[in-house]
Structure 1
Amino acid sequence: MNIDRNKINDEINDLRGRLQLGIHECKDAITKDNSKERMTALTKKVVEVEEQLTIYKQGMDVLTHRQMQNDKCLLLRELFNKPRDIIKESVRKVHLPMNYLDNIYDKNFEQNLDKQNTFLSYSINQVAQQIGLTSSELVKYLQVKQQSNANFHLNDEIKEFAKRHITDENYNLLNFIAEQQLLVSFNEAEQKKLQTVFEKICQILNKSSCEEHQPRFNRNDHVQVLYDDGQLYWATLNLFDSKTNKWKVVYDCREYGSEWVIARRIFKR
């Protein structure tokens, strides 16, 4: 939920004005009325206003911190929409169930991710390379995205920003943050990393077609084949049937023998 920073700032400025008024009244009292009672009353008034101003400042700091956390989650949530959609589409194309993606959100999933020989790890690695991240970094950001409960979106704004800069290719993340008036703070390393991601995402969004084209294969190519268990197995291409768009593959492990496999389930490493 967004906080009304302008309203809180107005209240703080009002208190500052009252504090200044109290100070001026004290100065006037010194020149016009030096009575102890008058000075005590005015000093008490100034102290009360100062205390209220301190309370409002503390409240503003807390709300600003919360807004910064919220805006950061919002930005990451929307920035990683496209990478997630690409992974979902790759799963859909090979006819695996969509709950196959649920593994990503397991907190232990990223452990030994590079050693996993699954189609999911393959897809994650392919997308990560496109946007300048490691597989583990992409998984972490997708998990942050999943956990975010932001109730408004920036997806259209990112698309519009990318479209406006399709000619000059000035996909500057900090400029986008400033335009959207987001309270976001990154350390230097993360800001540099997310700048690369933001630039890659804008480039992907600006492509006339985001369809993923299957690489062209040749006979005797050494490839990986997606099996029904979601694992990738090494095999060699033998024959191609253009009518069915299937390749006859011979698996490296003799126990699996050979079979005809639809082209979309074949991948090059």
Structure 2
Amino acid sequence: ESTITLSPLLILFIIFNKTKFHLSKKRKNRIYKGLLYTYIGLTLFLVGVNAGFMEVGRIMGKGVASHESIWLLPTVGFLLGMVVVLAEPAVYVLTVQVEDVTTGHIRRRIILIALSIGIAFAVSMSMLRIMIPGLKLWHFLLPGFATGAVLSHFVPPIFVGIAYDAGGVASGPMTATFILAFAQGAAGCIPSANVLVDGFGVIAMVAMTPLVAIQIVGLLYKLKAKKGGIDIHESDI
């Protein structure tokens, strides 16, 4: 799987380097070394996922859902959502790039905190959906995406772009493996839940909440700038 994933990138690089880039030997070696590290890391990750990472999430979901306290499942879901985003490689890359491109005006830590809180609420609400039969996925997604669309008219465009990109990177491999398995384990242990219906949808929730969380940060940036007498135009940040 790792070979199939990375082979097209390697082939495209070789073709473009011969026809267009003509990179020096030193730069080519650095790129090849980076691809090798990526190949090894991706292979180890996939082995870990298949060997037991998903199973751990499923067992945890069953264990927490079978507890007597009804609030334990959404609480644990909240904590897991808050922590899992910190382990997402794509989230790390995005937050570093945001800080670099904005020359430190938008701090990496602020974006990370907003993402962490947003995804924590996403996982917690997903657990509530599993517990309460009347709650449907669209009850969360429709108002969530509508709120994100409305906010996009009031915040600086850079935050709109970051928010939509964050929704994609937050629902990455860590969430798709551990949190999804956790939700399926919980759904399988609750009598009123259906694993085939309620065990899925958590990834959509995780992709939705960053749209709102990051744009709220953008709105706060805008309001803070106005209080300081600075009129932030859409291209100023």
Task: Give the TM-score band, short-chain normalised.
Answer: under 0.3
**TM-score normalised by the chain length of structure 2:** 0.25
Higher normalized helix content (fraction of residues): 2
Q: Could you say which structure has the greater relative contact order, defined with CA pairs below 8 angstroms and 6 or more residues apart?
A: 2
TM-score by length of 1: 0.23
